Amino acid sequence: MSALRNIGYLIEKEWRHYFGGPIAYVAVAIWTLLFGFFYYAIFNGFVEYSVRAGAQMEFGAPKLSLNEIVIATVLRNMTVVALFILPMLTMRLFAEEKRQGTIELLATSPLTDFQLVMGKFLGALSLYVTMMLAGFVNFVLMWAYATSKPEWRPLLTGAVGLLLVGGTFIALGLFLSTLTRNQIIAGILGFGLGLVFWILSWFDQPTASPLMKAIAYAGITNHVEDLLKGVVALKDVVFYLSFITFGLFLAHQSVESQRWRA
């Protein structure tokens, strides 16, 4: 229970930092505005396309899906937004503690390195979940007023996919934040390395060699597409959870080595 209490204290501490300044408000506002913009633009396009398709029903127009055209596309776009925003949330997690000198206080406290890393990670992840919930209000309104209700399964698995992608970026940014006391450097490293893993997905081409396909497997976006379609493949979930676990492991090792050096 003391371990959970310590992690809970760190989560609360991170939230005080986030909401004690403009960080959380700006992040939630930008995320919600972009989520709303993508939803409005894509939904408008869906309505216009459905009107044209309705006029062509006698010619056998394909059935339109809110899940595939609206929900999946919006969530796919928001994974790109996560790539830009989440490094800004993780860059201060350890770098700011080092700059202010409070990392020594945490190192000499009863907190273990594992509790410290998990508390920081869950603090950032819980803020990300809050951002997601704010954006999902758009889907709730669509669900309430749509004549033909979307399927709930692709929406649920898409939300899980967006959460796993975000957790991956947060774990990566958390580790990088342990390496420097400069928040800007940590943020740039987080975005740059996240972009590298994003670009790896581009190598997954039908004509690619086995080596290129193996490299492309490490691409972050390769494993979210099935989730956006309502298909839960164990290999995709395992990929994200393994990535997150490895990122947290590296962060733990980094914090532990710095404690010993201190």
- Taking the C-alpha atoms of residue 231 and residue 221, their distance in angstroms, rounded to an integer, is 15
What pLDDT sits at residue 43? Answer: 87
60 phi and psi angles, rounded to 5 deg:
80, 45
- Residue 160 CA: distances (Å) to CA of 37, 133, 154, 215, 248: 21, 12, 10, 24, 19
Asked if pLDDT for residue 86 goes beyond 90, the answer is yes
Instruction: Give the pLDDT band (50/70/90) at residue 62.
Output: low
Mean pLDDT of all residues in 178-188: 91
pLDDT in tens, 229-256: 888 889 999 999 999 999 999 999 998 8
pLDDT in tens, 7-37: 888 899 899 989 988 889 999 999 999 999 9
Share of the chain above pLDDT 90, in %: 45
Number of helices (H) and strands (E) in the chain: give both, helices first: 12, 0
Instruction: Give the pLDDT band (50/70/90) at residue 81.
Output: very high
Higher pLDDT, 58 or 31: 31
What pLDDT sits at residue 64? Answer: 67
**Does residue 136 contact residue 146 with C-beta atoms inside 8 Å?**
no
Instruction: Give the pLDDT band (50/70/90) at residue 82.
Output: very high
What pLDDT sits at residue 27? Answer: 93
Cα-Cα end-to-end distance for the chain: 28
Cα 96 to the center of its chain, rounded Å? 22
pTM of the model as a whole? 0.91
- Taking the C-alpha atoms of residue 88 and residue 83, their distance in angstroms, rounded to an integer, is 10
Instruction: Give the pLDDT band (50/70/90) at residue 56.
Output: low
Higher pLDDT, 77 or 66: 77
pLDDT in tens, 98-153: 887 777 677 677 788 888 999 999 999 999 999 999 999 998 888 877 777 778 88
pLDDT in tens, 161-170: 999 999 999 9
Q: Look at residues 143, 113, 146, 104 and name the one whose alpha carbon lies nearest to residue 10.
A: 113
If you ran DSSP here, which 8-state letter would residue 92 be given? Answer: T
